[in-house]
Chain A
Amino acid sequence: MSAEFQEARWNEPIIMEIGRKGERGILMPLAEERVRNAVGDASELLPEDMRRAAPPALPEISQMRVLRHFLRLSQETIGTDLNIDIGLGTCTMKYSPKVHESFVRSPALSELHPYEDEGEVQGILEIIYRTQEYMKSISGMDAVSLQASGGSQAIYGNAAIMRRYHEQRGDKGRDEVITTILSHPANPGTAATLGFKVITLYPGPDGCPDIEALKAAVSERTAGLMITNPEDTGIYNGRIREFVDIVHEAGGLCCYDQANLNGVFGLTRAKECGFDMCHYNLHKSFSSPHGSQGPGAGAQCVKAFLAKYLPIPTVEFDGKRYFFNYDRPDSIGKLRKFYGSPAVIVRTYAYIRTLGAEGLKQASELSILNNNYMLQQLLKIDGLSMPMGQGKRRLEQARLSWEKLTNETGVTTDDICRRIVDYGFQDYFASHHPRVIPEPFTPEPVESYSKDDIDEYVEAFRKIAREARETPEVVKTAPHRAALASQIDEQGLTDIYRFAVTWRAYKRMKNGSEAREHGHA
């Protein structure tokens, strides 16, 4: 029961509000007089136009206070290593083996600098190159770039290749990208950013996108298809090859969003499905902690005829040495500064080397098995259902609905999502936007969890569903035992006038609103 759990709750200020002027963590000894005389004022060494008029507003705090601050914050967080992290469906929150951290924290990696000469960084280049080779065999594609710092950037890269490909062929009228409403929003998002018009297909009764709608959508204006499969519902679209063929016939290219590969590792490949490009989120299926919005890594995989468009530089091997190839005139250009997230690539490499081809396939099989066992148990809860694609098995995740419970008790998925935290579990992922399925809940148990873990997780929801009928107020006013003991106004997360990501912006916003309140605006 919830009484067994109580998360730490500290009334901890923002770090900028702690400490006093002049307070220090480390007191640096003064340089010797001889040195001082020889060097003079160190700040004078900087060119004048680079000097600050005033020192930066940094926190001034003693070491113990720093430690106390961050340990308190860490007690108020919850993550994959602290709870049974099944709720964040589509995020693939699998175990990140701790032995991999020893590679990542090794000075051999952590002390590398991006401006080092290629000759001095052959080791990491080799790991990048070999990881690319693995990606080629996992996808069946012919060329790979690991430059992207995340999934969406890799999707953007693929969409940019699609645009460049049509441009180079002089095929100017192709300005429409087709996607589906249950594909990841980065697909329409990146297409729109690149100036494409986006045509979104809705699901048919089988839970898969309506293939007849696709036939009606393609034309001489079709630039390509950007699609996830399985979609967020966990339903594998068995007609995916037909989708690809229809778009190819219309002259478009096909991009496979395989950010989450966990349901199909070693079972299907982008190549056999006919795709021209695909991408993987290395920080999902290939393990890496999803650390507070990063760092991530995306693998862009393309067929040979599109290889020349991959972002510059590419990491290549001439038989003797590994090198960055910048001499690629057809490339879409750079996606980011330097090259990829080496730490995530090293974890990916270690993960693949540890599991091997058979192990990766087994990871998928186990994640499908875990998901189907979990669904069997979850769907026994009165009020929870799995709409769409009746009778169709799900792969590694599923989008469920609390609609019946909501209709009967008034308790919504958002209430349950807050209440589950009182049981010591991470809040869950409801749905991408828009909510195609009402009162959604998207769990994904991956391969890492045991049957006991899954049973424990399901039991918490069984209890909450009972609470919804017996003591709905408890659920509706949750959380009660989490670090945040009360509900926060979520508008603050989406209203640009009400959130700030820097201290300066925060102060400006606060002063601004005070000024407005006092009528000085």
Chain B
Amino acid sequence: MPNDMNIERSRAGQQAQTVRVKPKWHMTVLHIVYYLIMICFLIFYMLPFWGTVMTSFKTNSEVMTTTPITPPTQWTLEGYASAMEELGVPLLTSLFVTLFGAAGSVFLGSICAYALSKWKFKFNNVFFIALVAATYLPFQAILIPLLQTISALDLYDNIWGLVLVHTVFGMPMCTVMMRGYYADIPDALIRQAMIDGNGMWAIYRKIVLPNTMIATITVFVFQCTSIWNEMLFALVLGGYDSKPATIALNELAGTMAAEFNVQMAGSLILALPVLVLYIFMGKYLISGQMSGAVTAS
């Protein structure tokens, strides 16, 4: 008898759990309105991308006769082939400048951040404030003196000139970002490493860097994205020999009038590495951004 009662009770419990409260009619309408608004925004944001993808797979003649958003009747890669002819070398240039520029700025920023967050020296805060101020500096304001300096160094239209500029101008932002991460490393860890017989540089190499790998990857990806997409320095300081892909893409629009399929294919090729980076490094980026938000236990 008690067993039967228990079964009855459990059934009643299940029913009680599955009973759903019927939403009031005005709540349902409100939800529909919310979804409609969100769908509108989604279409608004995704439509240009959709148009770009569709156009990139069309022939040039189909581009002329159809609207950009209609799917191609005949799918072709000829736009991509033509775009790669123009973008091939500049893409390699972009890759080179991005990797070396990002690596340089992250390396210097990391060392600066380490010194500023973990070592006390005179004018420590003054240096940091100067670096923060540097991140707000509009690049347009220093373009002319920068051009003169780069010319004087004989680095105009030189791939290393772009690497140098990106390293130097990326460094303050990297410092500011990494200082936050390094501040979370307990001071006791640094003191312990000192007592274990390590100097300032060895502590950085053996303790600080390995324990902040995610932060370093985050800042590296951030730097890669901004250097890859950068156009102003490339336009002013790079000539024909050191032309990165952003400039080549711009020229694609100027020289091949109305060849929209080639331009769209070029845009997508240029956007692809950043997208791939975000897809594969996404989890590191999120955890890296979060790890700076709370104090390390």
Asked if A pairs with B, the answer is no
Residue positions of A touching B, CB distance < 8 A: none
